[in-house]
Structure formats: structure tokens, C-alpha cells
Amino acid sequence: MQKRLLNPDAVLVYIPELPPKYNARMNTPQAGIFALGTASHIYLEFDALDQRHEEKLAAAICALREPRTTIGGVNLVAGFRPELWRKVAPDHSPAGVYGFNAPIEGIESFTMPATQRDAVLWLSGSAHDVLFDSAHAAIAAVKDLATVGEETSSWAYRHDRDLTGFIDGSENPSLIDAPDAAIIPAGTPGESGTVLLLQKWKHDTTAWESLSVSQQERVMGRTKPDSIEFEDKAVDAHIVRTDQDQFGKIFRRNMPYGTVIDHGTMFVGFSADQSRLSTMLESMAGLRNGVRDALTRYTTPISGAYYFVPSTEGLRQPK
């Protein structure tokens, strides 16, 4: 034990020395990843104007900060094309992580397109007007270095449901366990960062709503009102094709997007291991055992990108 005087006017307090591994400073994940309960979201995906200035773009995005308010605040999460981040901050980059550089060609002519951008900024909060102003300021801050290749606004629907009417994220780990699924562990290259899969899935609402509730439940593999998983699930049920017990746990922050006539789901999935995400996509496309996810007959992916989301310490690296 080591004696430490915590307060010169107080009594002496004895605190045991922690082992060295606990005394070492550990990196911190970006806080917005786990900021649940936000009703409004904006996703800005950027294309660098000049690949020779990627370092400047990364530095500009890393320098962005959220408004310093308690009420009506904004969470910012910044991510980068893995190859770009490896170039600008190799010491804070995981090995073997890659962009969504080619489409996934599944069975029955089903395709997941590759729309990889150079960087992403995800803003979330309780009020869309504050997000709008923050997004506008962010775009202005990088206007000489990048253009907005894709902008998507999302919003909460019936508390925790997507636009199919089913509860979304019912397989998510709790916030106590989520870092184990999403965050690269300490002592590993890229520690406290995460791999983000961002996909926009457009719903065929007419086809989906032509199904009975029981038919919709068969597609999903669980009940619609309360998300109870069926014991006897169809082999092509969505919950089977994306079985996290088989492929590994991920942490999802999906949100609805779009208008009344043109809408769908923004898939926002975080993982400590990119292979969990890529094998799930291959399974959905029918490339694992020749069975295509039934849900892909009613929703169509129209974008797809991987981003590495560095730790807060990693964000301080680009200059």
C-alpha cells in the first residue's frame, strides 16, 4: 500500500496501489456511439476533393466539436475510409480492415452496392434544428477539402420500431456488454476504435404491406408486437440469416429514414471485428449456403460503406 494525502485538511486515507495494467492510460471510444435515446440523426458522407489532401481532410473532421450545451446538445461520431485512416494515423489503425470497395453479388441477381466514401460524420440529438445547424457548420468547415457525397436524415418511429413495424435492435447487447461487441480491445492496433457498416435499405412498402402479419413474422422469424423469437424458424428468416450467435455480436444503431413515399432503414452497425459484419452480409445475400434472406425481397440496399471510427485519442492524431 501507498499512503496518499487526498486533502491536506482531511484525515489520511490509504489507497492500495493498482497493478500497472490498471494505471496505464487507456484510449476512450467516441461517446456518441453509445448515446441511446436520441430521436434525430444526420449522416454526412464526404468525398475528398483531392486525394493528395486526405490528411488535411482527416484533420479538419477530427477538429470538429459538438456544441457545449447540456440541453439540445449534439453527439458527433467521426469515421474514415479504412485505407485513408491507415495512411494518416497508422499507429491508431487496425490491421486488415478495408473499405466497401466492391459490390456483393449474391444469388438470384441480388446485389449489395458499394458506395464507399472517404469520411462520415454522424450527428445525433433530440432536436433536428440543432442538428441542422451543426451539420451546416461541419459542411462549411470542410468545404475546401471535400464535398458531401451523401446526406441522410433519420428519425425515431414509434419509440423503437423500424418502418416495417417491427422492433429494431432487439438482439442488441446491453450497454454494459456493448463495448465487448463493438470496441476493439486494449493492446490491439486501433484499440477503442470500431468498424462501422453504414447501409441504406429502401423498403418496398407496397409489397411488404400486402403480406399478412403472420407472413411478415415468418420473414422476420419473430413476432411483430413483442419481438419474441420463434423456436421453429424458416431457414431464410432474417433472424436466421443474421444470427449473431453464429457470426458474432455487433452493436446496432439503426434508424428509419426518408419520406412517406420513399423511405427505409439506415443500418448502422458497429463491430470490433469487421468479419462479423461482412459474413452477415454474405449470409443475407445467399453466399454462405445458397439461402437468401427473405427480408431482402422487400428491402433493397442502395448504399454500402465501411468506416473506421477511431478512439477519441486517435482523433487527436491528424494535424
Task: Indicate the range of 5-19, 186-200, 267-281, 288-302 predicted with least confidence.
Answer: 5-19
| 181 within domain boundaries | yes
The per-residue pLDDT for 21 is 40
Average pLDDT of the chain is: 91
| 26 within domain boundaries | no
> What CA–CA distance (Å, rounded) separates 199 from 304?
5
| 21 within domain boundaries | no
Report whether 116 contacts 100 (CB < 8 A): yes
Is the pLDDT at 23 greater than 90? The verdict is no
> What CA–CA distance (Å, rounded) separates 256 from 201?
9
All three cell numbers of 237: 428468416
pLDDT band at 195 (very low <50, low <70, confident <90, very high): very high
Q: For residue 135, what are the contacts with CB-CB under 8 A and spacing of at least 6?
A: 42, 44, 121, 123, 151
The per-residue pLDDT for 71 is 67
| 151 within domain boundaries | yes
Q: Does 91 or 235 have the greater pLDDT score?
A: 235
Q: What is the CATH number of the domain that holds 167?
A: 3.30.70.3420
Report whether 295 contacts 162 (CB < 8 A): no
Report the percent of the chain where pLDDT is more than 90.
86
> What CA–CA distance (Å, rounded) separates 236 from 284?
9
> What CA–CA distance (Å, rounded) separates 271 from 76?
18
| 8 within domain boundaries | no
The per-residue pLDDT for 13 is 36
Mean pLDDT in residue range 48-65: 95
Q: Which contacts qualify for 213-219: CB closer than 8 Å, 24 or more apart?
A: 216/164, 216/165, 216/166, 218/294, 219/294, 219/295, 219/297, 219/298
Residue 190 lies in domain: 39-316
Mean pLDDT in residue range 180-187: 96
Return the sign of the alpha-carbon dihedral for residues 29, 245, 273, 138.
negative
Q: Which helix (H) or strand (E) holds 153?
A: strand 146-155
pLDDT band at 17 (very low <50, low <70, confident <90, very high): very low
| 171 within domain boundaries | yes
Tell me the pLDDT tens digit for each residue of 57-77: 999 999 998 887 666 789 999
Q: How many domains does the chain have?
A: 1
Tell me the pLDDT tens digit for each residue of 108-124: 999 999 999 999 999 99
| 33 within domain boundaries | no
